[in-house]
Amino acid sequence: MFDFDMLGLAPALNEALTRAGFSEPTPIQNQAIPLALEGHDILGLAQTGTGKTLAFGLPLINHLLAEPGKPAPKTAKALILAPTRELVNQIADSLRNLTDGTRLRVATVVGGQSINRQITFLARGTDILVATPGRLIDLMDRRAVDLGSVRHLVLDEADQMLDLGFIHALRKIAPRLGTPRQTMLFSATMPKQMEELSRAYLENPRKVQVSPPGKAADKITQSVHFLEKPAKPSKLREILSRDMDALTLVFSRTKHGAEKLMKGLVADGYNAASIHGNKSQGQRDRAIKAFRAGEINVLVATDVAARGIDIPGVAYVINYDLPDVPDNYVHRIGRTARAGREGEAIAFCSSEEADLLRQIQRLMKIDIPVASGTLPQGAADEARGAKPGGNRRRGGRGGPPAANRGGKPAHTKPGGQSKGRRPRRRSAAAS
């Protein structure tokens, strides 16, 4: 493994990486950065949580530092498109940490925020523009931004943009970009449409792949509980009560379901908040900030958060509802076991969701171990491949607490103090 300072980055970037505590590149960074520095178009495939932001961000900033001149009013030199507001903000925060102390400016445009404020900021021009496609088109229609100076394009989480129908927006944006340009496309999965997308927007790309599409991080312990829908609330509370201090992300399929679930948890004394499409951007940002800081430890979310949360401390991901799109399961559970840590992913599966489980297992080419319960024979046939004898890590939430070598419960703090057995009454619902 190389050090970052061996990749040929500008001294200012190496200093920023040192300040941030980065010393060695991840596999996707190690392979993609040298190729991107040479100016090649990049097709990068890597599971979530492997460092794709730095893989495109470092060479992008390196190129811009070498280019003379400031951006003209209403223009940008580089454009990064991402599917969700949370992911846009996450990318921008990472890039600002790297450009701190340089002349480069990073701007964001997303829906749910004041478009007039964004127009005012863009009037001065920016070096790097990070945007969701919808709001960017709104600004283009108002002639608030001119993309003709863009010579670097990044499409992050491109597969989700395809799922959300952003391909039509991309077709409106791409013709307005400058040429020639370098394009980097990064994704965690590789659906068939992705090949078509890469052929349309990348020129002789270098393909970088560090894990098979649909594969979860190695340090995620997975399990599934078979139970019907009415039993899910009590099972969720049973699991949460085993480790009250851990940061836990709970996924619901619908906005209404997420809000109802969060309010029920708060009423029962759990420290919970929610984020979904019916929340304002301010509410979503505050909830994520509180979750990151540990002020709340249960965050209930829809798939709006499946790729927009990079919080290394997330210990558990609970799929209260299985996603309709199998790829989203991979992205959801990728919110844990980040930055080399271990994590646990727990799924609830009812009879109605048996086929969804089968699709997920087919995509991942694994049988998810069963922690508890059984399905009726017909549904079990749909979900065949899941085997009993769950893969429980140190008595984690996926099954009953196991004894460690000292005979103490697995979730016991040093000194024998029980960890959070009494639900806390302090709550911080997003508002």
SS (H, E, C) 182-215: EEEEEECCCCHHHHHHHHHHCCCCEEEECCCCCC
How many CB atoms within 10 Å of residue 430? 24
Query: Which one of 209, 242, 258 terminates a domain?
Result: 209
Which pLDDT value is given to residue 388?
43
Q: Which residue has the higher pLDDT, 320 or 170?
A: 320
Strand partners, 222: 345
Same domain? For 54 and 165 the reply is yes
Helices (H), 208-297: 232-240, 255-267, 281-293
Which pLDDT value is given to residue 218?
63
Distance CA 279, CA 16 (A): 34
Same domain? For 178 and 231 the reply is no
Same domain? For 319 and 230 the reply is yes
**Digit-coded pLDDT (tens) for 181-200:** 999 998 877 767 777 788 88
* Closest residue by Cα to residue 151 from 129, 135, 172: 129
Same domain? For 186 and 226 the reply is no
Say yes or no to pLDDT of 403 above 70.
no
The beta strands (E) that lie in 9-81 are given as 42-45, 76-81
Query: How many domains are there within the chain?
Result: 2
Same domain? For 289 and 147 the reply is no
User: Is residue 121 a part of any domain in this protein?
Assistant: yes
Say yes or no to pLDDT of 9 above 70.
yes
| Beta sheet of 298-301, edge-to-edge order | 272-275, 298-301, 247-251, 314-319, 343-349, 220-226, 370-372
* Closest residue by Cα to residue 217 from 326, 334, 339: 334
Q: Tally the C-alpha atoms within 13 A of residue 104's C-alpha that lie toward its C-beta.
A: 26
- pLDDT bucket at 310, cuts 50 / 70 / 90: confident
Same domain? For 189 and 320 the reply is no
User: Is residue 430 a part of any domain in this protein?
Assistant: no
* Closest residue by Cα to residue 251 from 353, 319, 205: 319
Task: List the CATH number of the domain containing 48.
Answer: 3.40.50.300
Query: 330 with 266: CB under 8 angstroms?
Result: no
**Digit-coded pLDDT (tens) for 259-309:** 999 999 999 999 999 998 888 878 888 998 899 899 999 999 998 766 657
- pLDDT bucket at 396, cuts 50 / 70 / 90: low
Average model confidence (pLDDT) for the chain?
A: 84
Query: 303 with 332: CB under 8 angstroms?
Result: yes
The arithmetic mean of pLDDT across residues 403-431, rounded, is: 37
Tell me the two tokens of residue 160: 């989700």
The arithmetic mean of pLDDT across residues 89-99, rounded, is: 93
Distance CA 88, CA 144 (A): 19
Query: 336 with 305: CB under 8 angstroms?
Result: no
Say yes or no to pLDDT of 429 above 70.
no
Same domain? For 202 and 240 the reply is no
- pLDDT bucket at 417, cuts 50 / 70 / 90: very low
The arithmetic mean of pLDDT across residues 236-249, rounded, is: 94
* Closest residue by Cα to residue 318 from 195, 233, 202: 233
Residue with tokens 């004394």: 269
pTM summary value: 0.67
Same domain? For 198 and 260 the reply is no
Same domain? For 138 and 247 the reply is no
**Digit-coded pLDDT (tens) for 369-393:** 999 998 776 666 666 654 444 444 4
User: Is residue 414 a part of any domain in this protein?
Assistant: no
Strand (E) or helix (H) holding 316: strand 314-319
- What domain range is 49 assigned to? 4-209
The arithmetic mean of pLDDT across residues 63-67, rounded, is: 95
Same domain? For 30 and 127 the reply is yes
User: Is residue 306 a part of any domain in this protein?
Assistant: yes
Query: 44 with 184: CB under 8 angstroms?
Result: yes
* Closest residue by Cα to residue 152 from 188, 185, 119, 107: 185
Phi, psi dihedral angles at 262 (to 5 degrees): -60, -45
Distance CA 101, CA 27 (A): 28
SS3 state at 183: strand
User: Is residue 285 a part of any domain in this protein?
Assistant: yes
Distance CA 296, CA 405 (A): 32
- pLDDT bucket at 76, cuts 50 / 70 / 90: very high
User: Is residue 69 a part of any domain in this protein?
Assistant: yes
Query: Which one of 361, 382, 403 terminates a domain?
Result: 382
User: Is residue 415 a part of any domain in this protein?
Assistant: no
Which pLDDT value is given to residue 380?
62
Which pLDDT value is given to residue 163?
64
User: Is residue 423 a part of any domain in this protein?
Assistant: no
Same domain? For 297 and 191 the reply is no
Which pLDDT value is given to residue 415?
39
Same domain? For 366 and 243 the reply is yes
Read out DSSP for 344-366? EEEEEE-GGGHHHHHHHHHHHTS
Which pLDDT value is given to residue 416?
39
Residue with tokens 């009454």: 425
